[in-house]
Chain A
Amino acid sequence: MLLRFVSDYVRYVLKGGTKFYAWMGALAVLIVGMLYVYWLQNTEGLIVTGMTSQIHDGLYLANLVFLVGVAAGAVTIVFPAYVYHHEGMHKVTVLGEMLAISAVIMVMMFVFAHMGRPDRLWHMIPPFGIYSFSSMLGWDVLVLNGYLFLNFVVGFWYLYSKYTGKPVNRKIFMPLVYVSIVWALSIHTVTAFLLATNPARPMWFHSMMPIRFIATAFAAGPALIIIAFLVIRKNTRFWIDDSAIKLLATIVTWCLGIAIFLTLSEIVVELYARTEHANGLYYLMFGLHGLTGLVPWFWGAVVLMLVSFVLLLMPSFRNDMNKLPIACALAFAGIWIEKGMGLVVPGFIPSPIGEVTEYFPTFVEWLMTLGIWAFGFFILTILLKGAIGILLGDIKYGASPSAAAH
């Protein structure tokens, strides 16, 4: 029966209209580009990127940090659905889990992209490699893989039960769901620790980082989910209740509000005293020693987040399903900058010995980033298509293949 499930699933997701193939084809082109620059990075070395010994992490780590947040953001669907028994959410929980799977896969690809020797990855996997419990990166890899596993099991078990028509064994299923909820918090907390546990980098070294990460994650994650839901409503027969979207919009609004508040707190605390430890933030906001590479990024992020917050506060805007995605896109972009480039890069400026240099991502890095995002959307499209097919009953055990392909 499991084999039938796999074959029915695969046959369903591979079929689609012109729009589907065009979308997947465009993504595939970017993925090929990514493979090329990956090959380049592993023959020439990371010298083809804009990274240096002073600023040795950039766009890749920025995207990694941001996407861990998107993955964790899926819990904003799972939590209301299973803990508050929200009707509209419960119908679509599995879509959130599919998003989490895609986001974690993207995170891992960014890990590979930023490593100097991805061919030696096995060095950190026992029994042939060594696992270090003192390393935050080790913990990050552990919790991310755990989260991938949990979401895969919970998501596909649910889909499989829909497919066969037999209900899940709730005695095992529900504990897994609760574990995955707590686990979602853990992945982003550990990622925050990864940066925040470095006293050598004053820009990162503060205990506000984990809560700030979670606040921004629970704004950016659901913002993307809302957009995805509206796309699904428009392009498939699957209907997602307004109640679910409105709850997500509320979550985005207030998590964004908290994120803005935390950013302002940091600015006041750092710039009032204005010690040398504030140099990173000062570089980000105003530039340092005449170098101002990130200043437009920072103020761009501030404008995006503030405008989005104000728009989301207006009922006429928030409740209009044609306008809502605009605010969501603004919030998503703003947080991508603030938490990615705006957090990672100033950690290196100035360097621990006071050297001020700048970082400019090269074409290789942009293509790699685009390609990994394309790969993520490629997987997401397949996963969502399959999940929706099952939820709609298009893929069902015993149904003839011709009926399955609508």
Chain B
Amino acid sequence: MVTESKRPDCGQPGSACSCAVPPASADPAVAAAADEAKPTRRSFLRSSGMLSMSSLMGTATLMAATGEAKAAVEWAEHFQKNYRLMTDQEKQEARVRLEKRYSQEYGKQVSVDTTPAQPGMLMGYALNIRKCIGCRRCVKACVEENNQSRGSRPGERIEWIQVLRMERGKFDPTKVDQGGYPEGLGIQVGGNAYTPAGQVLEGQYHYTPEKVPEADATYMPIACMQCEKPPCVKVCPVRTTYREADGPVVIDYNWCIGCKMCMNACPYWARRFNLTTPVLPKQDMNPVTHYLGNRPRMRGVVEKCHWCLQRTRHGRYPACVEVCPVGARKFGNLLDPESEVSKVLARKNVFRLKAELNTFPKFFYFYD
């Protein structure tokens, strides 16, 4: 039944894919230092975290705790600028710092990509809501690709995609004659024949069926809509979250103060808060990262979908598009009329979620 011919593969018109995996770090020091001092790093982080009640106190402790180069790295990371204001030189330094730190922490060579937005590119996404079978492979692929926290305690599990299960609902003949509502004081308040059918955004995403798709349900995956007018960006007091020139709304995790205003503002519940240090086992960590994308996050900051910048900036598809077994997910360049997503917008019936809020999502739903 999986007859979707346009499976995401490379060399498609518009995808400009060269299948180049982003370059890993060329720094030889990274590999050499990879196996040193992991436990001390942990405890060091912990002890420094304990005391960083204010910036000054925190950094003073960092300097005092170890007199080594590591402290200088922490110091530099703590006092680095907002990513957008960094010079190319500073970005490079930040990248090398992070690659070194992550490689030590996860015991493998980690690359932190800083490829900027490419001219002529505006990313867009389209989802065929009729095709989705609710298997949630996209959810799993997203977590694995993007280094989300996967602990056991509530609050340690973070998923960026929710597949909402919608009951098909029905009209109940036994309730046609005023079944539920009493007619008080001679006022007719309505009938009760309509059991929720196709109710938007009242579905749930925790479901455990024998197999999918279920006969009595439809599915509606949602994630960050990468709005053109993102309310989350407007409310950020430190401008750490912003729209990149090629479309996605990203976060500089090192600049986020964790005030959570963006989570108040988002109408799609796309943002997650790291209530504690993310649980990311070393062997499961994806070492191919992007600075504004899937690099490991820290405690107390907000994160969200960024359309796999570490892949899409190099012409690859996001992980969710690649994994979808029914080809419901389409991704491409909105500025290229030959891209899949442009063709969908040109030919299919398309709608946007909560369009009345004027957020102008670049994530479109369609059906055929």
Binding site for B on A (CB under 8 A): 38-39, 42-47, 51-54, 56-57, 114-124, 129-132, 134-138, 141, 194-195, 197-201, 276, 347, 351-355
Contact = CB atoms under 8 A, between A and B. Distances in A.
Contact of A53 (B53, B78, B237, B273): B273
* Chain B binding surface, main DSSP class: loop
B22 interface: no
B273 A352 contact: no
B276 A45 contact: yes
Contacts of A197: 235
Contacts of A134: 234-235
B142 interface: no
Given A42-B49, A116-B273, A198 B164 contact: no
Given A47-B155, A135-B234, A200-B265, A42 B52 contact: yes
B260 A57 contact: yes
B234 A200 contact: no
Contact of B257 (A117, A131, A347, A353): A117
A57 B258 CA distance: 11
A135 B264 contact: no
Contacts of B267: 199-200, 352
B361 to A, nearest CB: 13
B12 interface: no
Contacts of A201: 264
B279 to A, nearest CB: 11
7 contacts: A45-B300, A51-B275, A116-B256, A130-B238, A199-B357, A200-B357, A355-B204
Contacts of A119: 52-55, 58, 78
B53 A118 contact: yes
Contacts of A52: 154-155, 275
A38 B238 CA distance: 23
A343 B317 CA distance: 42
A47 B153 contact: yes
Contacts of A347: 264
Given A45-B276, A119-B55, A352-B266, A198 B231 contact: yes
Interface in B173-211: 201-205
Contact of B55 (A45, A56, A120): A120
A50 to B, nearest CB: 10
Given A117-B301, A194-B261, A355-B204, 7 more contacts: A45-B277, A47-B275, A53-B273, A114-B259, A116-B258, A117-B300, A124-B238
Contacts of A123: 82, 238, 240, 255, 257
Contact of B50 (A42, A57, A115, A194): A42
A44 B276 CA distance: 6
Given A43-B46, A45-B275, A352 B235 contact: no
Contact of B273 (A43, A46, A137): A46
A56 B255 CA distance: 19
B273 A136 contact: no
Contact of A353 (B78, B237, B268, B272): B268
Contacts of A45: 274-277, 299-300
Contact of B264 (A124, A200, A353, A354): A200
Nearest to B261: A137
Which of A52, A117, A130 has the most C-beta atoms of chain B within 10 angstroms of its own C-beta?
Answer: A117
Contacts of B231: 198-200
